[in-house]
Amino acid sequence: MPSETLARPTPDVIAKYEPVIGLEVHVQLASRTKIYCGCPTGFGAAPNTNVCPVCLGMPGALPVLNKTVVELAVMTGLALNCRINPLSRLARKNYFYPDLPKGYQISQFDQPLAEHGWVEIEGKRIGVTRVHIEDDAGKSQHEGFKDSERNTYVDLNRCGTPLAEIVSEPDMRSAAEAYAYVTELKQALQFAEVSTCDMEKGHLRCDANVSVRLKGATKLGVKAEVKNVNSFRFLREAVDYEILRQIGVIESGGRVMQETRLYNPDTGETAGMRSKEQAHDYRYFPEPDLVPLRVGERWLGEIRSRMPELPAARRNRFLHQYGLSDYDAGVLTASRDLADYFEKAAAASPDAKAAANWVMGDLMATLKAEGKEIAASPVSAERLGELVTLIAKGELSGKLAKEIFPKMFATGDAPAAVMQREGLQQISDTGTIAAIVDQVLAANPKQVEQYKSGKTAVMGFLVGQVMKASRGQANPALANQLVKEKLG
Ligand code: ADP
Ligand code: ZN
Ligand code: MG
């Protein structure tokens, strides 16, 4: 295929085109049991142990829709600003695959659970076409390289694992926007606790539909669908590669084929897998073993009332309530646990901005160094609040606080207890500080002279020396006052 070896288009050629991207994201819904039976969904069980006649697709076995799964899917829709349809339908999507013993998935087709949503990225809304529920298939494992030695094993534990499929509008115009969209989507779903979205465990999977068209064109170009994009970084790389490949094909007089392609992270390239002519005809029809799905006003209201504040709203509130910068609000809402921690620390201290700085600075750095999550922080939010309070009240210098914090982290103790134990309390005794001031003035006659001849700026230096001599323990206000007095 010549298209695979095309030269990279030049920047001015690239600039003639507009990329168009739409994403299909599958997330595993955080239900302990499967979507159409009561088998556990746990990860890592021995192969073919979490199965029953329903998820094994035995003839005559009947599915029962899991209520929790529906609620999680409704929350998914709400988290993505969708309209929840009061009536939706399950539908059979027929295809043969060795790890799909039923011979079909029970999905949704023309009447999905949720529609018409959006995700906001950097001030731009990306449309969410639909959210629907379906069951996952099992897993095939290939072993051996030569055909003669090759064995394939099938593990059906994953059959019936509940998924939500989230289909976007073709609203993204760059790999960066695609990246921002999945990042935002993942964060919203994690806040709503509908899915862990753990990509390493396959709890979030992403297919990228990519096309290009000449700028100003109104019709969409022919798209290729890139599968197997199993990290956000790969998504960006795969979309970027695909954009350049398609421009190259068109520029050399060719036509982009509608096809499914696979991303290879080792080469950073995509390669054709099957063309549209080979695409499945899924022969969708309404699932005869399940009644239509009704989500009435009352149930919807109940589910809605369980929705937490979502990341975008929380970021916005942090800006106004705590006077944080855009950047800080973004960092502190990276996860719900972190945002909760910060708000508790802020509530326990008189200075929210200082609390934010401690959380984003020393705390996050130490957690990272120790490989700990915020939820497992040995320094509780209340204790961090106490530290910030002591600094704000002038009972602790910033420098001493930096020394005390690692000791709080190591022991979980309150800052006051660490100060007591380590003899790090602030010295607020006038006599003790006065003695230090005398020493400092005696040791720096030149600066004292300068001060007396009118260079009063030198006072800062002298106070600094007093602080240093007291190992940072002198009450700074008192040190300041005494130096001034003694200089007369
Ligand atoms: P298909 O019929 O191939 O399943 P759909 O119209 O259902 O295609 O769209 C699937 C996904 O592809 C959606 O996320 C949609 O936004 C995206 N998409 C559709 N057409 C294009 C296009 N021309 N370029 C890029 N993405 C597209
Ligand atoms: Zn089962
Ligand atoms: Mg489609």
Specify the pTM. 0.86
Measured from the Cβ of residue 273, the count of other Cβ atoms closer than 10 Å reads 15
Pocket test for ligand 1, best of 130, 209, 226, 250 (most atoms within 8 A of CB): 209
Ligand 1 nearest-atom number relative to CA 225: 12
Q: Two tokens at 362?
A: 């020393």
Looking at residue 263, its amino acid is: Y
Task: Write down all domains in the chain, each with its CATH number in brackets.
Answer: 3-298 (no CATH), 309-422 (no CATH), 430-487 (1.10.10.410)
Measured in angstroms, how far is the CA atom of residue 38 from the centroid of ligand 2? 6
Measured in angstroms, how far is the CA atom of residue 109 from the centroid of ligand 3? 9
In this prediction, residue 3 carries a pLDDT of 45
In this prediction, residue 437 carries a pLDDT of 94
- The gap from C-alpha 246 to its chain's centroid, in whole angstroms, comes to 30
Residues 76 and 27: their CA atoms lie apart, in Å, by 10
Residues with CB under 6 A from ligand 1: 20-24, 167-170, 209-211, 220-221, 223
Q: Can you tell me which residue has the tokens 């001599």?
A: 469
DSSP structure class, residue 301: H
For residue 464, what are the CA distances in angstroms to 49, 143, 152?
69, 70, 73
pLDDT tens-digit series, residues 190-238: 999 999 999 988 999 999 999 999 999 999 999 999 997 989 999 999 9
Q: Which helix (H) or strand (E) holds 244?
A: helix 232-251
In this prediction, residue 400 carries a pLDDT of 86
For residue 51, give the ligand nearest its CA: 2
Measured in angstroms, how far is the CA atom of residue 140 from the centroid of ligand 2? 18
| DSSP state string for 245-269 | HHHHHHHTT-----EEEEEETTTTE
Measured in angstroms, how far is the CA atom of residue 192 from the centroid of ligand 2? 26
Residue closest by Cα to atom 14 of ligand 1: 22
In this prediction, residue 275 carries a pLDDT of 74
Residues 17 and 168: their CA atoms lie apart, in Å, by 21
For residue 281, what are the CA distances in angstroms to 95, 373, 401, 463?
8, 46, 66, 81
Q: Two tokens at 322?
A: 């705590």
Measured in angstroms, how far is the CA atom of residue 27 from the centroid of ligand 2? 19
In this prediction, residue 4 carries a pLDDT of 53
| DSSP state string for 169-188 | -S-B-SHHHHHHHHHHHHHH
Cα angle for residues 215, 279, 232 (degrees, 5° grid): 55
**CB-based contacts of 63, cutoff 8 Å, min separation 6:** 36, 37, 54, 106, 287, 289, 290
Q: What is the pLDDT along the chain (488 residues), one digit of tens a residue?
A: 344 556 788 999 999 999 999 999 999 999 999 999 999 998 789 999 999 999 999 999 999 999 999 999 999 999 999 999 999 999 999 999 899 999 999 999 999 999 999 999 988 999 999 999 999 999 998 887 777 778 889 999 999 999 999 999 999 999 999 999 999 999 999 999 999 999 988 999 999 999 999 999 999 999 999 997 989 999 999 999 999 999 999 999 999 999 999 999 999 999 988 776 666 789 999 999 999 999 999 999 999 999 999 999 999 999 999 999 999 999 999 999 999 999 999 999 999 999 999 999 999 999 999 999 999 999 999 999 999 999 998 788 888 899 999 999 999 999 999 988 888 777 888 899 999 999 999 999 999 999 989 888 899 999 999 988 888 788 888 899 999 999 87
Among 91, 130, 137, 104, residue whose Cα is nearest residue 293? 91
Ligand 1 nearest-atom number relative to CA 276: 3
Measured in angstroms, how far is the CA atom of residue 167 from the centroid of ligand 1? 9
Residues 322 and 333: their CA atoms lie apart, in Å, by 13
Pocket test for ligand 1, best of 168, 172, 223 (most atoms within 8 A of CB): 223
DSSP structure class, residue 276: G
